[in-house]
Amino acid sequence: MHTKGSRWLLCSILGTGLLLAGAASRGWSVQDKDGKVLELKLDKGKPTKIEGELSKDDKVDAQKRPHKLYAFRGEVGHLYRFTMTSKQVDTLLHLEDTNGKQLKNEDTGGGGTSRLTFLPDKDGTYHLWVGSYVPKGSGSYVLEVTVSEVKPAKIVKLTLEQDKPFQTDSAINNQDGVDQQGRFYKGFEFQAVPKKLYRFTMTSKKLNTHLRVENPAGQVIKYEDGVNQGFATLVFRTDKEGTFRLLTSFQNPNDTGEFHLSAVVMEPREPKIAAVQFAEIKQARYSDILGEKDGLDERGCYTKAYSFKATAGKLYRLDLTGGQFNLTAFLQDANHKALRRVNAGFGNSGRGAYTATKDGELRILVNSEQPGVGGRFTLILTETTAKETPKLPAIRLVGGKPFVTKNELTEDDDVTEDANKIHKDYSFEAEAGKIYRIDLHSRAFDAYLYLKDANNKTLAQNDDNGESLDSRIIYKIDKAGTNHIIATSLGGRGTGAFELTVAEANKLDVLQHRMDAMFGQPPNERKKVLEELVQHLKGQKDELTSRDAFLARRFTQDLEFNDPVLAKEAFSELGQILAGAKSMDVSVIGKQLLERAKTLK
């Protein structure tokens, strides 16, 4: 079974130019032993059904997948729905133009059923590839095609009043309107005025729902704010009074079925502020609920507020844990300026720490991040004496010598705003054009590294280096200047001692960097990388390491999906070298590569 996302990705990676070219005739099929295009004529409004069979005599593509080729006449303003089913074949559909340019992959696939919808942007001949998802797949199949006109839906007028919820049960079927994505839809018209929030919720017991709002010109001006299984919500706000349309549909173009729609009109409102009461240990803990009775921000998200008196020089640590929804806490000053931000949700916790610079009132806002969605959360505020944080050394490599530092992560460390991770932040002066290797080693926690630029943009990140739970980044610096190395743990809560090493890349590091980038390079680069990797492994002789085995295995696995021909050579040649290693662990990996080589054609 293959998901839509994984099949689309693999089709994109493996896509070839071998699909179709063609003409037109009746909806029937013959054996296509020579790979010739089958003629297909489609009747508007009348389904076309073709029974065919894939066999070893059919033409195969570069991945040895048998297929048949069909050509059909496509017209603007018409929607073409293709469905391929089989009890014997894991089906696959593609669509291309007559020049071999791929226009679309199947919308859904796996388990013997593939679906593809298509809206031509111009009249002409188009080509359909009908075949097996796996090499050498064979068996009978059925291809069904329907052609329908793209048409607007009948519009139902809604009368919406503030604090008077609207609800209706309805259904979407093949008699409804068809949008430009090929989805059946229903339309609802409503009047909106400034300063009001219009929240729409669409639910279905079986299907994934989809919402959007259009202006009078038919332009989409707002998509849904959040989607879960069978649930979509959209909060709309306008700057000037007018008539708008809410369009309801399902995510997949072929889906039809029942749904429930609700709407409510609201106004943004400030939350009531709860005064924080510290216990003797200077800690306040709140188990609370975000919901309809709380404040409402301009996005339509629920919000709660807490205030407390801060003392200059004291450190205030904020811990937030959410339920089954995303939420954010902001620590603000008296002018509502954000001092710290903490993200949490779906059982995950977040932490932020702030040292007060003066006496005065601070407040905490806890917000839901999805309009109309709330639930339980826990907020803990702890006051402690701020510890003087030692200044971290700036990393600068002198004379090509590696930089090595030892430190530890503690509960008092600050957390990253984007990932809520306890961390140490080292500034790193890097030279343009150089490749660097950054290693984070710890026996106390599962190491994790980030490399960021001066604007906090993540350039690279890594969990495991392939040899252990330590972390390694190999990166080529494009622009000279100050970067930041973030030393943290995988879960973000790990504490304990660590060692950070920064060095200019050695020969093997440079080769690994080329491996990372080789699929964006010409095909001969992959061959050169293989040759250099073989040369390196042979040069190791009896000193082959776990890193050598990791690079060989990773290289062959990447090739198998991107360059199957070279992959067989790589599995065999690298496997032979590793299999003779003194290290049993390395030798085992070599033998695994050799076994895999035997299965590749």
Query: What integer pLDDT is reported at residue 8 of this predicted model?
Result: 36
Cα separation, 222 vs 579, in Å, equals 59
CATH topology of domain 273-385: Jelly Rolls (2.60.120)
Architecture of domain 403-505: Sandwich (2.60)
Taking a C-beta distance cutoff of 8 angstroms, is the pair 426, 394 a contact? yes
Of 302, 298, 293, 294, which Cα lies nearest the Cα of 372? 302
Model pTM score = 0.56
Q: What is the 3-state secondary structure (H, E, C) of 270-335?
A: CCCEEECCCCCCCEEEEEEEECCCCEECCCCCEEEEEEEEECCCEEEEEEEEECCCEEEEEEECCC
Strand 302-310 to 273-275 pairing: parallel
Q: What is the DSSP letter of 56?
A: T
Reduced to 3 states, what is the DSSP secondary structure of residue 450?
A: strand
Query: What integer pLDDT is reported at residue 330 of this predicted model?
Result: 92
**Which percentage of the chain shows pLDDT scores above 70?**
92
Query: What integer pLDDT is reported at residue 203 of this predicted model?
Result: 94
Instruction: Give residue 558's region: left, alpha or beta (phi > 0; psi -120 to 50).
Output: alpha
Instruction: Judge whether 155-266 and 273-385 match in fold.
Output: yes
Query: What integer pLDDT is reported at residue 28 of this predicted model?
Result: 33
What is the residue extent of each domain of the chain?
A: 4-149, 155-266, 273-385, 403-505, 509-599
Q: Give the chain's residues under pLDDT 70.
A: 1-35, 45, 279-281, 347, 386-389, 416-420, 601
Query: What integer pLDDT is reported at residue 387 of this predicted model?
Result: 67
CATH topology of domain 4-149: Jelly Rolls (2.60.120)
Q: Please identify which residue in the block is written with the tokens 């603000």.
A: 332
Question: Which CATH number does 155-266 carry?
Answer: 2.60.120.380
| Residue partners of 458: CB distance under 8 A and separation at least 6 | 450, 451, 452
Q: Please identify which residue in the block is written with the tokens 């259904």.
A: 171
Q: How many other C-beta atoms lie within 10 A of the C-beta of residue 141? A: 24
Cα separation, 198 vs 186, in Å, equals 18
- Residue 485 pairs in a beta bridge with 426, 451
